[in-house]
């Protein structure tokens, strides 16, 4: 059995959970991060293999780019484990959405988890997560999920079946560069939607930007970030609302 680890991770937390799950499974693994355009490619995954599909939660769903990329996957009643990684607010309909997308593509979802991580827009929220306890939980989830392969039935998950994932219109905050920008174009290279202006990389097309934050982490001079006043006020309010430690949740067939 080969494990196909397909995730989207802009700021690393979803990748950390995907790595913990796949390492605990301990089988040969092929990993793709859909952040990178060249890693968003067709994957025809045999019945005898396993898909581990790990996505961050954006507005209660998976990122629209990932929803639309699900057509690249083809299963043959292939078992799948789904992992939704969220920033300590809620994962809402993301797990149900992932199950539906994968069922439509020929997969059987045998286990799901919602794991908490640092919020990628407001990084003071759940700042130190995933921590060692979280990653232990991810590893133990992986072992239990393996035991679910071959069981029959439909995995029960919280969330609405009749959700409309098109309702999330994106964040109102978008990273940009300031006068420290050295025009190295690293931000333009990493941006999954090509939103960074190549003529003036301090600017982004806010209608294309998905606020994933990959450009912030790749900037070698810390030029990119959320520089406006409204953002600072929103972070304070959001951090106050989401200050309690939320628990990880797992669901098994
Ligand atoms: C546009 C956007 C919307 C988000 N919406 C939610 C949300 O609805 N609920 C939540 O708890 N976290 C939300 N988050 C936080 C991410 O789910 C979380 O930080 C995740 O760990 C990011 O993964 P990464 O580090 O792999 O990029 C959002 C982040 C972004 C960028």
Q: Give me ligand 1 centre to Cα 242, in Å.
A: 13
212 in contact with ligand 1, CB cutoff 6 A: yes
Shortest-distance atom of ligand 1 to CA 211: 31
pLDDT digits (tens, 9 = 90+) for 176-231: 999 999 999 999 999 999 999 999 999 999 999 999 999 999 999 999 999 999 99
For domain 3-164+245-252, say whether CATH 3.40.50.360 is its number: yes
For ligand 1, atom 3, the nearest C-alpha belongs to 58
pLDDT digits (tens, 9 = 90+) for 128-183: 999 999 999 999 999 999 999 999 999 999 999 999 999 999 999 999 999 999 99
Shortest-distance atom of ligand 1 to CA 61: 8
What pTM was estimated for this model as a whole?
0.98
**What pLDDT does residue 251 have?**
98
- Ranges in the chain annotated CATH 3.40.50.360: 3-164+245-252
pLDDT digits (tens, 9 = 90+) for 24-34: 999 999 999 99
Q: What is the DSSP string of the chain?
A: --EEEEE--SSSHHHHHHHHHHHHHTS-EEEEETTSGGG---EEE-TTSEEEEEEE-BTTB--HHHHHHGGGEEESSEEEEEEEEE-SS--TTHHHHHHHHHHHTTEEEEEEEEEE---SSSTTTTTT-S-HHHHHHHHHHHHHHHHHTT--S----SS-TT--GGG----S---B--TT-----HHHHH-TT--B-SSSTT-B-TTT-----HHHHH-TTS--B--SHHHHHHHHHHHHHT-S-PPPEEEE-
User: Ligand 1, residues 6, 7, 19, 86: which to mutate, most atoms within 8 A of Cβ?
Assistant: 86
Shortest-distance atom of ligand 1 to CA 8: 26
86 in contact with ligand 1, CB cutoff 6 A: yes
């Amino acid at each position: 059995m080969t494990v196909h680890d397909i995730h989207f991770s802009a700021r690393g937390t979803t990748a950390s959970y995907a790595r913990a799950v796949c390492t605990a499974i301990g089988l040969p693994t092929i990993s793709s991060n859909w952040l990178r355009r060249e890693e968003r490619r067709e994957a025809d995954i045999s019945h005898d293999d396993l898909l581990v599909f790990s996505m961050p939660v954006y507005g209660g769903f998976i990122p629209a780019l990932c929803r639309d990329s699900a057509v690249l996957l083809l299963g043959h009643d292939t078992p799948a484990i789904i992992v939704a990684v969220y920033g300590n607010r809620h994962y809402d309909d993301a797990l149900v959405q992932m199950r539906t997308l994968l069922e439509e593509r020929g997969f059987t979802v045998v286990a799901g988890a919602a794991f908490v991580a640092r919020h990628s827009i407001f990084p003071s929220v759940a700042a130190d997560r995933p921590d060692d306890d979280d990653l232990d939980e991810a590893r133990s989830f992986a072992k239990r999920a393996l035991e679910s392969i071959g069981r029959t039935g439909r995995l029960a998950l919280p969330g609405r079946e009749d959700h409309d994932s098109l309702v999330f219109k994106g964040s109102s905050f978008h990273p940009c560069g300031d006068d420290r920008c050295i025009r190295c174009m690293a931000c333009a290279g990493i941006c999954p939607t090509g939103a960074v202006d190549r003529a003036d990389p301090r600017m982004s097309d806010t209608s294309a930007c998905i606020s994933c934050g990959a450009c912030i982490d790749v900037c070698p001079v810390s030029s990119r970030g959320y520089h406006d006043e409204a953002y600072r006020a929103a972070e304070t309010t959001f951090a106050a609302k989401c200050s309690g430690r939320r628990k990880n949740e797992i669901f098994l067939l």
